[in-house]
Amino acid sequence: MKVDPIAATAVHSLDAVPSVLAATAHALPEQANTVTRARAFAKPLIADEVLATGENALAHAEGVAAMLKAIGSSEALQAASYLIHASIHLNKPQEVIGKAFGPEFATLAIETTKLMRVQQQAREMQPSAQLVDDSAVQTENVRKMLLAFSRDLRVVMLRLASRLQTLRFYAASKRLVSPSMAREALQVFAPLASRLGIWQFKWELEDLAFRFLEPETYREIAHLLDEKRVEREAYMAQLSSRVESELRARSISASVQGRPKHIYSIVKKMRGKSLHFDQVFDIHALRVVVPSVKDCYASLSWVHQQYQPIVEEFDDYIAKPKPNGYQSLHTVVRDQTGKAIEIQIRTQAMHDHAENGVAAHWAYKEAGTKGYAGVSVTGDYDAKIAVLRQLLAWERDMSGAAPPQSGLFDDRIYVLTPDAAIVELPQGATPVDFAYAVHTSLGHRCRGARIDGTMVPLNTPLKNGQTVEVTVVKEGGPSRDWLNTELGYLNSHRGRAKARAWFNALAQHETIARGREAVEKLLQREGKTAMRLEDLAAQLGFKSADALFEAVGKDDFSLRNIETLLRPPEPVLQADDYLLLKKARNTEKTPKGGVLVVGIDSLMTQLAKCCKPAPPDTIGGFVTRGKGVSVHRTDCSNFRELAARTPERLIDVEWGTPKSTTGAAVYPVDVAVEASDRQGLLRDISEVFAKEKMNVIGVQTQSVKGTAWMTFTVEVISSAKLNKVLGIVATVKGVRWARRR
């Protein structure tokens, strides 16, 4: 059965969880017979499984565990190599592994599986013809790996060992390796092992990857090394014996042996310095291990006395260690025959670190005081910071390896929280950007910052690898200065967006408060204080009372609309309340206002406000209490309702004929317009009325989501002309319709 273990489980992208929230670097809990228990747990699940590489899953896990044991990793980390592959076959791996071994093991297995999936996807997306030296193709992969490592640094060791085991399997079985996997090993995993000082992994990853990528060159160098192997080994054995005995004679307890020959490093030197094979120094190499630093320099002095040193090839990495903590004395000398020999001199502690790097004290609680890269480890935090700084340095190595035009990582930096979590930020980010990246509330309340323990201004640009700590107040918000780009407080999109949203919310709150006050005052004037505000908003077409208040506060919704809703139509009077009309019928007289009341002389009249009639509208009259006759258009809904309820109170009316147009009466009418809202719309419509010599005495506007509703009250002598004007209004840009109300 051939199964792809990565595709067999559903895992989320590493980007789905912010790295700052998941950086937990606790040592795995040591348990009795952990490795044995983990193997027994995983065996039924993976014994018959074949990975996508063709390797048996159980054999792969055993190879990884053995590799980790060889470099001094804890039993707990060795056990994890089995649980990673077992977790793929469990429905609830977090729960099952957590109960059997503890939550730390479960989390580690799941996080490692996620990274395996991301790496596989990255390899699949790379073109098969990609050049070996093109590091830009690894950009996103490296970035996601970095974020994954910040979650749980033990993932680094497990992934390095797993990749090396895979390459060993390909080499032993003589299978072809995909170019993308070999490139990833050479361009990502080997530099990472180098940065962490795990030389055993580095050299083997490089040699195996190079063997698959350039098999002809690999075989050529291997043949040259093997050609004089017997002669060279005999010479080096004789030289080692002499150096060791001479140093012991000088009371220096030295252990001297030949240094392994790594094909890839030889090829790099040949290509980098345009050398022939015989000119490469470390083909003949010795390693001298002594008890103390004093003995290192004493040994160096003796070597330089006995052999001719090549001065330009000398390096003192004890006085000035490499960035990853590597320490040693390197010198190249010539023997009596002129043959170049490279000699490395170091203490046993330096040698342990050179071989195993951080693996020598990987579990933080096991670190004690051995330290890392010259840093005294007093607890979990110091060790974790040291390793994270090496990961960041590894990222910078990758950036430096890329072509200038690639922009690899030029736009991003990585800084550390006080808890040693990695936070990814854009180049030029400040402590305020950092605070917003951790949490929105932290950004709002940020008032001060320390970088690597030193107080700095809030607009200080951050750099890779710095530890950032911010001080906050209990309550408060951002400063408006932060949005001033010239002051440089915020340089990340997230930070600017969050600060701007805070001020927008503040302005909205003030607008709502202003609108609420206006509406409540109106309700008091109308005697409607008992009315529920939510009900009022619903009747006016708003989703909530706050939406109504906001519209009123912005002057997008007129309070007159609320007044219209609150004021009832003219009351329907009972029979005994009607005025007694006894005046004689007179159809010839035209009362004031131009309305002829048929059958009643000099009766007080008023034009109804609900329909605003104007000549030559068909009209009707209704007798009211104390206000005479109310004149309506016959198509008015209020008039029809009154006529249906009390038809006996209706009275015939008609428009009188004015003697001349000079001083003729004018009538107010309402015109409704719907249009697409735009700048200058109100002005353009008003100009139409002005050109047609119609006086506008009132305007109400409301705009919602780009649509404007307008009501114009205009004075007309005759409504007949109004239809012509409405036709002109309808031609104004953006107007959808215009009609009389």
- Predicted pLDDT at 420: 63
Calculate the alpha carbon distances from 533 to 9, 36, 550, 566 in Å: 53, 70, 13, 13
CA 530 – CA 528 distance, rounded (Å): 5
Q: Name the one residue in this structure whose structure tokens are 């193997």.
A: 39
Q: Map out the domains of the chain as residue ranges.
A: 14-210, 224-366, 502-566, 575-655, 667-740
CA 529 – CA 648 distance, rounded (Å): 37
CA 144 – CA 15 distance, rounded (Å): 8
CA 541 – CA 548 distance, rounded (Å): 9
Cβ-count burial of 686 within 10 angstroms (0-12 exposed, 13-18 middle, 19+ buried)?
A: middle
User: Is there a contact between 158 and 60 (Cβ–Cβ < 8 Å)?
Assistant: no
The pTM is what?
Answer: 0.47
Cβ-count burial of 593 within 10 angstroms (0-12 exposed, 13-18 middle, 19+ buried)?
A: middle
3-state secondary structure 160-172: HHHHHHHHHHHHH
Torsion over CA of 680, 682, 686 and 688, rounded to 10 degrees?
60
- Predicted pLDDT at 386: 55
- Predicted pLDDT at 662: 54
- Predicted pLDDT at 345: 95
- Predicted pLDDT at 301: 93
Radius of gyration of the chain from Cα atoms? Answer: 44
CA 539 – CA 520 distance, rounded (Å): 16
User: Is there a contact between 116 and 184 (Cβ–Cβ < 8 Å)?
Assistant: no
224-366 CATH: 3.30.460.10
Cβ-count burial of 618 within 10 angstroms (0-12 exposed, 13-18 middle, 19+ buried)?
A: exposed
Written as six digits, the tokens of 625 are 């209490």
CA 53 – CA 56 distance, rounded (Å): 9
Q: Which amino acid is at 182?
A: A
Report the b/e string of 337-376 with b at 16+ CB within 10 A. eeebbbbbbbbebbbbbbbbbbbbbbbbbbbeeebbbeee
CA 22 – CA 196 distance, rounded (Å): 22
pLDDT along the chain (741 residues), means of 10: 32 27 40 82 90 91 90 80 87 85 80 71 49 43 52 74 92 87 83 77 89 87 73 82 91 84 76 66 79 94 92 90 84 85 90 68 36 34 54 55 43 74 83 92 92 91 85 89 91 90 87 89 80 85 87 84 70 41 39 54 73 87 80 87 85 73 74 88 88 85 82 84 87 89 81
Instruction: Say which CATH architecture domain 14-210 belongs to.
Output: Orthogonal Bundle (1.10)
In three-state secondary structure terms, 545 is helix
CA 654 – CA 141 distance, rounded (Å): 87
Of 353, 289, 301, nearest to 322 by C-alpha is 353
Cβ-count burial of 232 within 10 angstroms (0-12 exposed, 13-18 middle, 19+ buried)?
A: middle
Residue 703 bridge partners (DSSP): 708
Written as six digits, the tokens of 623 are 């007798």
CA 721 – CA 261 distance, rounded (Å): 105
- Predicted pLDDT at 291: 93
The residues, ordered by sequence, that sit 6+ positions from 605 with a Cβ below 8 Å of its Cβ are 591, 593, 595, 597, 621, 628, 629, 630, 631, 653
- Residue positions counted in the chain: 741
- Predicted pLDDT at 611: 85
Q: Which amino acid is at 261?
A: K
- Predicted pLDDT at 660: 54
Q: Name the one residue in this structure whose structure tokens are 């990472």.
A: 192
CA 729 – CA 715 distance, rounded (Å): 16
Superfamily (CATH) of domain 667-740: ACT domain (3.30.70.260)
- Predicted pLDDT at 358: 55
CA 49 – CA 261 distance, rounded (Å): 36
Beta strands in 348-479 (DSSP E): 412-416, 422-426, 446-451, 454-456, 468-472
First-to-last CA distance in the chain?
80
Written as six digits, the tokens of 703 are 């705009």
Tell me how far apart the 2 most distant CA atoms of the chain are, in Å.
150
- Predicted pLDDT at 566: 76
Whether the upstream peptide bond of residue 616 has omega within 30° of 0, thus cis, is yes
DSSP 186: I
DSSP 223: H
- Predicted pLDDT at 278: 64
CA 105 – CA 155 distance, rounded (Å): 11
- Predicted pLDDT at 666: 82
